[in-house]
Chain A
């Protein structure tokens, strides 16, 4: 299997801080790799290194077979980059932004205009094409930014937290476009702190924490590592939650976590459910709700690192 991106033992220091501490990963050609981790995990540093914007302190990386340090100019010919913030020129119109990138990539004036018009149509921006980008909504800006990174028809695309700050509708729209790119055979490295996003888009996932890869695999492989299901119990009175957690821990044999009036624990055997209910009943704890659900990637992160990733659910995000 050919590989679009290979990263070996990548290290990057900023002053005295080690942002990347020996990262290894690879992206098979035509696939989407989700790089998942909380803020400060080093996701953006990986992307910036691969996009030749930062030199690694140690280790090696190849993009499209080209070394990112020694053949950085070749790398820049085959990549597209969409940053965390929409990196378009706010004073230029959407169309001018795309023409600018086309011209910089060596297209003739007429070619650059034609390419811009195709992309504006693809990304439903025709109506806003002749308005300055500063008048665009957050979703439109992100679409323009993605369109700008596609002007040169890159084989490999970096999407650094593409849906941060987007409302749910704009996010779904963006996901749809990323799936289309995937279908066209573009290899994608996607960073995200949204579990749902990695789950929805990525063929495989690498979990990054404090500059290290702490897990990798498909979404279902990662979930299987933690336990098939998560048991959750909600009590009426938060004051008894700690006592309930003790009872649950005793039954399932794994330390239960308390969050307000909700207690959760990974379980391999769903048959434990009646035993948990019996134990709580005998301890005189009133249960409001009790059930099993498939492990979320948040559970995965918790189980892998021992600390919560502080992943925010997508719905709670501000809209832009």
Chain B
């Protein structure tokens, strides 16, 4: 038996709930869809002149926001397994010790892809039309998914440290809201005060939103996309070892 088969089995385990209850996916995406519609029709006119003009700007931003929110569930699920003893059951089985974590992250990529498809569909219904090409769109999807995997490690760390699953959600969303809003995800950075622009321009959420926007509606994608990937690499390099270290410490605590 190799670890890959077991990783797939563990990913199936996280996904089978979605298949039985597709509304669970709605749990992940209902908020971003709500944001998309609200932003579009409430703020769209003020920000971009009309809701229709704003859609092109805000859809990529909401996609990035949704991706970040969905990563919270990696930490939530891991913490549930740790506190309920499911993780111990897996560790007492003859499977590689990295398989449960790998399975969870793999399942998360699939959930991310499903949520992304959902948001693109909602965007289409609201009138969004791709201005670039299918290749560009696939590039955007790949970029967002790569960033999601990297950012998942932050939430793995939160999941390991948090006392219970509720705290994972509380901490995760509390941290993500300012990071998401102090970015160019929903409004152009030029409208913000100078002192804020420096932060916003360096924020990976801005870079990822800018890159996604360019890949979907045209414009220079190479620079923000490269910076986004660099951020993803940096986040993974810092948080993956940190998470594994924290996890081992937690497990050794008994």
Q: Which residues of B contact A114 (CB under 8 A)?
A: none
Closest residue of chain B to A77 (Cβ to Cβ) is B94
State the A residues within 8 Å of B (CB): 14, 19, 44-45, 48, 51-55, 73, 76-77, 79, 81, 83-92, 96, 100-101, 103-106, 148-149, 152
- Choice from A45, A76, A84, A88 contacting B92 with Cβ under 8 Å: A76
| Minimum distance in angstroms from A42 CB to a CB of chain B | 10
User: Is B197 an interface residue when CB atoms closer than 8 A count as contact?
Assistant: no
| Minimum distance in angstroms from B69 CB to a CB of chain A | 19
Does the CB pair A55–B85 fall under 8 Å? Answer: no
- Choice from B1, B13, B81, B85 contacting A100 with Cβ under 8 Å: B13
Q: Assuming A52-B91, A89-B86, A90-B80, what are 4 further A-B pairs, CB within 8 angstroms?
A: A52-B92, A73-B94, A85-B84, A87-B88
23 A-B residue pairs with CB within 8 Å = A52-B91, A52-B92, A53-B88, A53-B251, A54-B254, A76-B92, A76-B93, A76-B94, A79-B92, A81-B89, A81-B92, A86-B85, A87-B89, A88-B89, A89-B13, A100-B12, A103-B6, A103-B9, A103-B12, A104-B6, A104-B95, A105-B94, A152-B93
Chain B interface SS verdict (over half): helix
Does the CB pair B13–A87 fall under 8 Å? Answer: no
**C-alpha gap A76/B95 in the complex (Å):** 9
Given contacts A53-B251, A92-B16, contact A81 B6 (CB under 8 A): no
B1-42 contact mask (Cβ, 8 Å, vs A): 1 or 0: 100001001101100110000000000000000000000000
B224-254 contact mask (Cβ, 8 Å, vs A): 1 or 0: 0000000000000000000000000001111
**C-alpha gap A256/B170 in the complex (Å):** 55
Does the CB pair B91–A53 fall under 8 Å? Answer: yes
Q: Which residues of B contact A45 (CB under 8 A)?
A: 254
**C-alpha gap A184/B2 in the complex (Å):** 31
User: Is B90 an interface residue when CB atoms closer than 8 A count as contact?
Assistant: yes
Across chains A and B, which 3 residue pairs bring their CB atoms closest together, nearest first? A87-B85, A76-B94, A106-B1
Q: Which residues of A contact B95 (CB under 8 A)?
A: 104
Does the CB pair B86–A88 fall under 8 Å? Answer: yes
The number of residues on chain B lying at the interface, defined by a beta carbon within 8 Å of a beta carbon of chain A, is 25
Q: Which residues of A contact B89 (CB under 8 A)?
A: 81, 83, 87-88, 101, 148-149
Does the CB pair B253–A14 fall under 8 Å? Answer: yes
| Minimum distance in angstroms from B29 CB to a CB of chain A | 18
Does the CB pair B252–A54 fall under 8 Å? Answer: yes
**C-alpha gap A148/B93 in the complex (Å):** 11
**C-alpha gap A308/B250 in the complex (Å):** 32
Q: Which residues of B contact A104 (CB under 8 A)?
A: 6, 9-10, 90, 93, 95
Q: Which residues of B contact A83 (CB under 8 A)?
A: 85, 88-89
Does the CB pair A55–B252 fall under 8 Å? Answer: yes
Q: Considering the complex, which residues of chain B in the window 56-99 have a beta carbon less than 8 Å from any beta carbon of chain A?
A: 80-81, 84-86, 88-95
Given contacts A14-B253, A104-B95, contact A81 B17 (CB under 8 A): no
| Minimum distance in angstroms from A60 CB to a CB of chain B | 19
Given contacts A76-B93, A92-B16, contact A84 B254 (CB under 8 A): no
Does the CB pair B94–A81 fall under 8 Å? Answer: no
Most chain B beta-carbon contacts within 10 A, residue among A79, A92, A100, A104: A104
**C-alpha gap A100/B100 in the complex (Å):** 12
Given contacts A85-B85, A87-B86, contact A105 B254 (CB under 8 A): no
B211-230 contact mask (Cβ, 8 Å, vs A): 1 or 0: 00000000000000000000
Given contacts A84-B85, A89-B86, A91-B17, contact A101 B93 (CB under 8 A): yes
Q: Which residues of A contact B251 (CB under 8 A)?
A: 53-54
**C-alpha gap A85/B81 in the complex (Å):** 12
Does the CB pair B17–A100 fall under 8 Å? Answer: no
**C-alpha gap A106/B86 in the complex (Å):** 18
Does the CB pair A105–B92 fall under 8 Å? Answer: no
Does the CB pair A51–B92 fall under 8 Å? Answer: yes
Most chain B beta-carbon contacts within 10 A, residue among A54, A73, A87, A96: A87
Given contacts A14-B253, A104-B95, contact A92 B17 (CB under 8 A): yes
Closest residue of chain A to B81 (Cβ to Cβ) is A89
Closest residue of chain A to B10 (Cβ to Cβ) is A104
Given contacts A83-B85, A89-B13, A100-B9, contact A14 B254 (CB under 8 A): yes
Closest residue of chain A to B86 (Cβ to Cβ) is A87
**C-alpha gap A55/B91 in the complex (Å):** 13
**C-alpha gap A68/B37 in the complex (Å):** 57
| Minimum distance in angstroms from B6 CB to a CB of chain A | 5
**C-alpha gap A43/B12 in the complex (Å):** 34
Does the CB pair B253–A87 fall under 8 Å? Answer: no
Does the CB pair A53–B92 fall under 8 Å? Answer: yes
**C-alpha gap A213/B56 in the complex (Å):** 71
